[in-house]
Amino acid sequence: MATPRLTLREITERLGGEVVGEADAPLSGIASLDDAGPGQLTFLASPKFRSRLAGTRAAAVIVGPKDRDATTLPRIVAANPYAYYARAVALFHPAKPVVAGIHPSAVVDSSARVAPSACVGPFAVIEAGAAVGERATIGAGCYVGEGAVIGDDTFLHPRVTVYHACVVGARGILHSGAVIGADGFGMAPENGAWVKIPQVGRAVLGDDVEVGANTTIDRGALGDTVVEEGVKLDNQIQIAHNCRVGAHTVIAGCAGIAGSTTIGRHCLIGGGVGIIGHLTICDGVTVSGMTLVTKSITAPGTYTSGGPFMPHAEWLRNAAHLRHLDRIAHDARAASRQGKADGTDDD
């Protein structure tokens, strides 16, 4: 599909914002400040990159109100330049229209309900009683289990698996390798062995959820695992059984959320974060990358536990001190008690 050529006037007519300078020169696309060339649109999303604005070869730029006069280039002034850039990219690279129909190699049970406007790709499997909504796309090699529901305008990239009875809302995006509704890790110990606990709940995703490649959302043991509307999940995330992720929360790659944990709305969970089971994270929490969360968080804010890197020799010295930390603390307490007994303490 050819990239459309758009003017600043046409862009603002669709997205809003104010044009300053030449409004009718055609633009061929959008790129970063450093990479944009003649005829392209760029954006300034942060003041720390303002020094690069003078050297850009772009024909026009998206800026915030504070940077309205930071350049003489034709520009769009928008309240949130980064979000505006995201929407502008979509104008230059519109989604391919859904080509309705079922590929001859797909296997669709006779009791499944596939909307006439949906697309089912080659070698996809749709089991009995499943439902695929209007304009949904089921990519090549996908599996939609018995009784599962795929909402309107949802896009399953190739090789997505949605297990039986699970629900994916409208306008979702599931990337390749995502697994929705695998069994949760439930085992009961008995006589030195493990008895599998049947996982009979579902995994339920709300509208406008995006799930990254090779991310797994387990089904509930009895109730449901729920991912609320607008949640965005990166690649290779594990969400265990009976978790609930609140609306519009974002979780970065390789995070692991143990079972029966509730994460609030509008949270930001960094890459590599681990959250142990049966905790509650309130709304509006940011957890820095590589943090281990071992207790519930009841107040909004930013929480961090991961240590920054350092030269290896320095780390070895610090680790040696850390090994003796308990003894040092014990000696300090003993010295304090002795000082109080002798009347020589600082107090």
164-174: average pLDDT: 98
Is residue 277 within 8 A of residue 262, CB to CB? The reply is: no
103 included as an active-site residue = no
Residue 159 has pLDDT above 90, yes or no: yes
- Residues 24-80 have pLDDT tens digits of 999 999 999 999 999 999 999 998 999 999 999 999 999 999 999 999 999 999 999
Residue 318 has pLDDT above 60, yes or no: yes
Domain locations along the chain? 8-92, 101-303, 312-342
Q: Which two tokens stand for residue 275?
A: 């959250």
89-115: average pLDDT: 96
Residue 345 has pLDDT above 70, yes or no: no
Closest by Cα among 208, 288, 205 to 239: 205
Residue 338 has pLDDT above 70, yes or no: yes
Distances, alpha carbon 145 to alpha carbons 112, 134, 150, 245, in Å: 10, 18, 10, 23
Q: What is the mean pLDDT of the chain?
A: 95
Stronger pLDDT, 194 or 307, i.e. the higher one: 194
Length of the chain: 347
Residue 264 has pLDDT above 70, yes or no: yes
Average the pLDDT over each of 143-157, 255-269, 294-308, 323-337 and give the range with the smallest value: 323-337
Which pLDDT score is estimated for 337?
85
Residue 347 has pLDDT above 60, yes or no: no
CATH superfamily entry for domain 8-92: MurE/MurF, N-terminal domain (3.40.1390.10)
Q: How far is CA 78 from the centre of its chain?
A: 25
CATH of 101-303, one of 2.160.10.10, 2.40.50.100, 3.40.50.620, 3.50.50.60: 2.160.10.10
- Residues 172-201 have pLDDT tens digits of 999 999 999 999 999 999 999 999 999 999
Q: Which two tokens stand for residue 130?
A: 């499943």
Distances, alpha carbon 3 to alpha carbons 38, 42, 76, 90, in Å: 16, 16, 20, 11
Residue 118 has pLDDT above 60, yes or no: yes
Point out the catalytic residue in the list 93, 103, 175, 241. Answer: 241
